[in-house]
Chain A
């Protein structure tokens, strides 16, 4: 009985990228390059069009691009592939409870009970394959009496599905030693003494091997044969809060939903408390009589976890909303869960210029946003640029967490006119200047201006400039 199944997807990242492309795009040759190892960047994944032109895995970048000058190159990103692997596990978690992640490209399934359920590999694989309809990745799947045997077969590209343990064992014994998964140095050493298959390795005395290769080798052999169980860390889906309530009677407005919502929020508070989490957003979904849904997103400017905060802010935001039709059912999903210790730092960063305790400011903004809408609360954000137009930009409150550095102290009016207004220099009395700004050649709005501080006829101090277009006032100091 082979209770283990291993899926190896050697081109997981590239295949996932291809799945998002049009057919015409997919037929362009594409390769992923890994530069993390020493030496030149190497091809680690390639699509069929690239392979057809003679590009092979582990080929140096320069060779690949000489073969095919127009090949699309992208860097291989291990972390991204690992996230994709987790998504894949999430997808199949619906069918299989015991999934272990073998990053970057492998998943191991414990399938003893599943086989009974699906009546063998055939049925199980069909079920797995069905989940991948929108996501065509290339993979090899192999069965094994031990996790390691299943893994080695799949990684070697040998898709052997069998109920017979001996068949699997024989197939593994024939695998070349390079497919053993042992460390490269050991593989070289074994090749140097003519041990070129896993079977040949198993034939040597284990103690003689231990003497030469150490405990790791005997452990390896014991895990291969199953004498030593391989501990597995099974996949756990991430924490989620999703609850719904049958309203029992039709409810016509959001205001009337506050009471049932309170119950859901109580549950959420408990959920957050146990996990020491906070939340930055809620998704409310009501179901109408005809089965249609209406959704309402509630955002918080700072993370919250207490019932009174969540309820208060939600109420404020719901006040302005209307329910299109009466509701029969209410569901609540928590969005953007964060560990609690993080939130303190975030607040300090978000508003460094506020010396007072930051909590009230965050609350104020939350309330303002709740009343006026998220886009209505903006913050002037200084940008690192010599050009005055570029130096001041408005940004959403939430986005201000990453504050740009400041330019040196420059005499600038607090308020800039947008657009600048043409003036007659005759009516102005220059006080100081020029400050000559010639910068920004690198984008589409280069600036070449001489700025002056000057008084107009009403003795108001303004900031005026001269450029090829003439004279303008750009702001007022008084």
Chain B
């Protein structure tokens, strides 16, 4: 029978990498190898999981291979069970079983006992069961029960891998069959696609055991036979009848993932109405609000076109679902904003999903939802970060946990984690591994990490263990480690989600995730609603409330006066601390150069300081053209249509994709692949395949090779950090709103920002310093007048009274309760606070933060007194009268107070430490930040300041930006690699840095190019001056 022409191999028990360290090949590798070997069917059966199913489906579609969906379950009493799906119904049954088993256990594990399995078996009528009994006893005990539960659908799964007990095993299966009549088949257990993966599989076993390979040898498999074997090998290994049995079984499995069709939740549409009708009605209801003057004809035309597209593609439910969420947010007064490819449409504007008037920005809707592309629209909605949970709870309530769950994120091995885990499995010690790892610079674009190690630690590569380390690390990279939850992507289904995909527990209590990630969701055209959190929205809502309260002016995102010149003037000065998206140092430097003067400039401003435009070297050409130093030209009319809005320079991700089409001749499909590759560039490196195609295409159409290279580099940059125009436009809206607040209501602006921390780029101390520079009075926290949050208090002008929330370690809820009971005239003495419920520990925290000094004189005294109010009065000392210690302690010196402020609140309203040191003459010869604008370009200067930030951007090779803070402001220092190396210690560890260097001025932007670094921290230590921590190399 060998070589039977009609027979082709099948493998019915294959674990993929989605069994997490229990198999050593990706689904795609298994599928491709099975196709190469001429398999007729392959079952992907990960352990209690379908997480790899969609990946396998993508690899197998358009091939003759029949992909069977199944799952493996290890039950100690029963043995190994493999369930295979026959039809759609069986698929839903399997999903339900996996969900049950997963939901019963903690994240990452499952619980299924023999009893539970048998109980569930009546709901597995469309699944086939393969069984590998744990023992003869297990067979005796359970075979009749399983036969009853799976009539004609039960097989014994025999596998042979040339092991010592093969013969015994074979006899046993024959005997089982004779005893029970259950047919035996050759299941072909597979843990990796080819024999060369055995070392990786062994290493994974060791990683799971947390030991070195040499310590777990008895748990390793004795040979490499757990791979996909050729038909010849299989025929040699198994009786033909058992192979044929497997082949016949595989014919019964008819289900394909393509049958899954997603149904939108339907309850949002009133009975008797069609979704399209209802969407049209809601949209036009919105028109009257958004366009009170009536629709211009061209906008109306656009709106109709959009509605037509949505109807044609059947996306009305999706828009309705999001509309429903934002309606809820509006009712609750939660600020939100939509973004994403489909967001900048007239429909979304009318449905109040976005606040960006599509009039202001010319983004073509159909570019994002198109008939040809046929993929789900993408809308992310940001909500206030402190209130997003309300939205999530609403979703669960409205659709129930049955129907709504978060998407998963597959956490994969990265270089470092792979290197460490493989290294430990090979018996390297942690310090050794850390030592090698230090020789890898991931920002080195010339040499990959293996080449770097070969060059720098040749002794490692000279040993076989070292070579295995390199090779296996590379193999382990990209292998999934576990499932985690997506930041906010919800999948909502019309009926139970578990008909569609298994659901499991996430690490957060009460959160559930589906077993698929966003790529899987996209593949199967499921709709994902992204419910994200954004700190600036919280801050803006607070700003609107404060403006209403103190200025009696009702405002909201849509009603802010647009294109206010005063706002742009402020931004052009680089005065942007606290302003959304343009507050980073790089953005602050760009503002005076780009000089945004209208909304669309902000859209460009936000997108331009990103890896894409920087790596494509598009920043300077754009700035030159904007400044009128270079003519705005286009290589062709086709390119002009793409780049007109950005002066002929590609800035946005959509533009480079479009360029690939018009300038390099990419088809729509290719452009789409390019877009997907960009999204996965980091993990897969797929972009390289497009390089030649892009460059050839552009050269053939007469573009310069230099331009083509830059476009490719830019594409790679977008791969690192994709940034489309639509996102930028939504962000620009919030950037403008926050800038407008800063410009017109600065006290409101700072107060709301401070109350929304942590968010953004700057600490409370830095925001307060900026408020001071804008002459906003900031009053210290004080037990007699502060609330928990910061407040605005009307003095001659609005001032900010700091709240008790700045005190480290205090509990907010308790404080608010206690403050509610504060006597109208304030507290009379410390004892009274104790009586009114403040605990001894809280009193000490209050005293340490110096908010009690009005009651007791000064910080030391209030702490000394509060210590005596401790609850645990020691009997021995109870009768110690206060007369023993009524002597006042000496008051703290100023620098003690400053230091104590920093250590208990992280900021100080007293003098800046640098002012003190300058007064003492420690900083002779140093210029202040405020003096720098008065100095010449190229002048040699010396400056000193507290290091608040060290940044080494990946885009600027070898240069570090250090920000210094003195009593007058911030100084930007540029440190080149050689200088950093020469003054390594000061460069890395100084808290107070003195820099001698050359002042460089470009317009209003001033940098000091460092020539010498000197660590001045000793001056701080001498006075025990604690300062806030620098943000280093984040």
Interface residues of A (CB under 8 A from B): 33, 53-54, 59, 61, 63, 65-67, 69, 73-75, 189, 192-194, 204-205, 207-208, 210-215, 384-386, 405, 407-408, 410-411, 432, 434-439, 441-444, 450
Q: Is the CB of B439 within 8 A of A437?
A: no
Q: Is the CB of B213 within 8 A of A442?
A: yes
Q: Is the CB of A192 within 8 A of B848?
A: yes
Given contacts A192-B848, A435-B164, A208 and B885 within 8 Å (CB-CB) = yes
Q: Is the CB of A441 within 8 A of B199?
A: yes
Interface string of B826-850 (1 = CB under 8 A from A): 0000000000000000001001100
> Within the complex, what minimum Cβ distance (angstroms) separates A347 from chain B?
27
> Within the complex, what minimum Cβ distance (angstroms) separates B564 from chain A?
47
- A75 to chain B: which residues have CB within 8 Å? 431
A386 partner, pick from B220, B225, B874, B896, beta carbons under 8 A: B220
The secondary structure that dominates the B interface is helix
> Within the complex, what minimum Cβ distance (angstroms) separates A14 from chain B?
15
Tell me the complex Cα distance, A67–B990, Å.
12
Q: Is the CB of A442 within 8 A of B465?
A: yes
> Within the complex, what minimum Cβ distance (angstroms) separates B842 from chain A?
15
- A213 to chain B: which residues have CB within 8 Å? 867
Q: Is the CB of B218 within 8 A of A74?
A: no
- A439 to chain B: which residues have CB within 8 Å? 217, 220, 222-223
Of chain A, the residue at the smallest CB distance from B222 is A386
Q: Is B939 an interface residue (CB 8 A)?
A: no
Tell me the complex Cα distance, A59–B989, Å.
9
Q: Is the CB of A207 within 8 A of B220?
A: no
Q: Is the CB of B435 within 8 A of A73?
A: yes
Q: Is the CB of A194 within 8 A of B890?
A: yes
Which 6 A/B pairs are nearest by Cβ-Cβ distance?
Answer: A54-B985, A208-B885, A436-B162, A438-B223, A212-B867, A211-B877
Tell me the complex Cα distance, A194–B850, Å.
13
Tell me the complex Cα distance, A212–B989, Å.
38
- A54 to chain B: which residues have CB within 8 Å? 984-985, 989
Tell me the complex Cα distance, A193–B847, Å.
10
Tell me the complex Cα distance, A314–B218, Å.
43
Q: Is the CB of A65 within 8 A of B863?
A: no
Tell me the complex Cα distance, A74–B430, Å.
10
Q: Is B916 an interface residue (CB 8 A)?
A: no
Q: Is the CB of A441 within 8 A of B889?
A: no
Q: Is B36 an interface residue (CB 8 A)?
A: no
19 cross-chain CB contacts under 8 A: A54-B984, A63-B988, A65-B434, A66-B988, A67-B989, A73-B435, A74-B431, A189-B867, A192-B844, A193-B889, A194-B860, A194-B890, A205-B884, A211-B868, A435-B166, A435-B222, A436-B162, A439-B223, A450-B162
Of chain A, the residue at the smallest CB distance from B218 is A384
Tell me the complex Cα distance, A254–B138, Å.
68
Q: Is the CB of B874 within 8 A of A434?
A: no
Q: Is the CB of A212 within 8 A of B868?
A: yes
- A194 to chain B: which residues have CB within 8 Å? 860, 889-890, 892, 896
Q: Is the CB of A210 within 8 A of B223?
A: no
> Within the complex, what minimum Cβ distance (angstroms) separates A50 from chain B?
12
> Within the complex, what minimum Cβ distance (angstroms) separates B319 from chain A?
49
Q: Is the CB of A442 within 8 A of B426?
A: yes
Given contacts A205-B884, A210-B880, A215-B874, A436 and B223 within 8 Å (CB-CB) = yes
- B889 to chain A: which residues have CB within 8 Å? 193-194
Q: Is B445 an interface residue (CB 8 A)?
A: no
Interface string of B858-898 (1 = CB under 8 A from A): 01110110011010011011001000110001101000100
Q: Is B207 an interface residue (CB 8 A)?
A: no
B874 partner, pick from A205, A214, A442, beta carbons under 8 A: A214
Tell me the complex Cα distance, A193–B863, Å.
6
Tell me the complex Cα distance, A214–B884, Å.
16
Q: Is the CB of B426 within 8 A of A193?
A: no
Tell me the complex Cα distance, A18–B435, Å.
21
Q: Is the CB of B435 within 8 A of A444?
A: no
Q: Is the CB of B162 within 8 A of A435?
A: yes
Q: How many residues of B contact A (CB 8 A)?
A: 55
Tell me the complex Cα distance, A211–B872, Å.
9
Q: Is the CB of B874 within 8 A of A210?
A: yes
> Within the complex, what minimum Cβ distance (angstroms) separates A226 from chain B?
21
Within 8 A of A (CB), among B233-260: none
B223 partner, pick from A204, A437, A442, A443, beta carbons under 8 A: A437
Tell me the complex Cα distance, A342–B660, Å.
79
> Within the complex, what minimum Cβ distance (angstroms) separates A378 from chain B?
22
Q: Is B167 an interface residue (CB 8 A)?
A: yes
Of chain A, the residue at the smallest CB distance from B986 is A54
- B884 to chain A: which residues have CB within 8 Å? 205, 207-208
Q: Is the CB of B867 within 8 A of A215?
A: no
Tell me the complex Cα distance, A396–B294, Å.
98
Of chain A, the residue at the smallest CB distance from B989 is A63
> Within the complex, what minimum Cβ distance (angstroms) separates B937 from chain A?
34
Tell me the complex Cα distance, A417–B66, Å.
50
Q: Is B438 an interface residue (CB 8 A)?
A: yes
Of listed A61, A211, A450, residue having the most chain B CB within 10 A = A211
B163 partner, pick from A204, A384, A435, beta carbons under 8 A: A435
Of listed A204, A208, A410, residue having the most chain B CB within 10 A = A208
Tell me the complex Cα distance, A118–B222, Å.
72
Q: Is the CB of B464 within 8 A of A444?
A: yes
Given contacts A75-B431, A194-B892, A410-B164, A438 and B867 within 8 Å (CB-CB) = no
Q: Is the CB of A408 within 8 A of B874?
A: no
> Within the complex, what minimum Cβ distance (angstroms) separates A265 from chain B?
44
Tell me the complex Cα distance, A165–B885, Å.
29
- A65 to chain B: which residues have CB within 8 Å? 434-435, 438
Q: Is the CB of B438 within 8 A of A69?
A: yes
Q: Is the CB of A215 within 8 A of B876?
A: yes
- B217 to chain A: which residues have CB within 8 Å? 384-386, 439
Tell me the complex Cα distance, A65–B468, Å.
25
> Within the complex, what minimum Cβ distance (angstroms) separates A22 from chain B?
20
Q: Is B529 an interface residue (CB 8 A)?
A: no
Q: Is the CB of B222 within 8 A of A436?
A: yes
Of chain A, the residue at the smallest CB distance from B885 is A208
Q: Is the CB of A53 within 8 A of B985?
A: yes
Q: Is B214 an interface residue (CB 8 A)?
A: yes
Of listed A67, A410, A437, A441, residue having the most chain B CB within 10 A = A441
- B877 to chain A: which residues have CB within 8 Å? 207, 210-211
> Within the complex, what minimum Cβ distance (angstroms) separates B133 from chain A?
18
Q: Is B198 an interface residue (CB 8 A)?
A: yes
- B870 to chain A: which residues have CB within 8 Å? 212
- B435 to chain A: which residues have CB within 8 Å? 65, 73
Q: Is B202 an interface residue (CB 8 A)?
A: yes
- B167 to chain A: which residues have CB within 8 Å? 432
Within 8 A of A (CB), among B885-937: 885, 889-890, 892, 896, 900
> Within the complex, what minimum Cβ distance (angstroms) separates A343 from chain B?
29
Tell me the complex Cα distance, A261–B220, Å.
56
Of listed A213, A384, A434, A450, residue having the most chain B CB within 10 A = A384
Q: Is B224 an interface residue (CB 8 A)?
A: yes
- A53 to chain B: which residues have CB within 8 Å? 985
Tell me the complex Cα distance, A325–B916, Å.
85
- A410 to chain B: which residues have CB within 8 Å? 164
A438 partner, pick from B218, B224, B465, B890, beta carbons under 8 A: B224
Tell me the complex Cα distance, A73–B432, Å.
9
- A33 to chain B: which residues have CB within 8 Å? 431
- A435 to chain B: which residues have CB within 8 Å? 162-164, 166, 222
- A438 to chain B: which residues have CB within 8 Å? 195, 198, 222-224
A193 partner, pick from B198, B214, B439, B867, beta carbons under 8 A: B867
- B464 to chain A: which residues have CB within 8 Å? 443-444
Q: Is the CB of B874 within 8 A of A192?
A: no
- B984 to chain A: which residues have CB within 8 Å? 54, 67
- A437 to chain B: which residues have CB within 8 Å? 222-223
> Within the complex, what minimum Cβ distance (angstroms) separates A190 from chain B?
10
B860 partner, pick from A67, A74, A192, A214, beta carbons under 8 A: A192
- A205 to chain B: which residues have CB within 8 Å? 884-885
- B885 to chain A: which residues have CB within 8 Å? 204-205, 207-208, 211
> Within the complex, what minimum Cβ distance (angstroms) separates A82 from chain B?
22
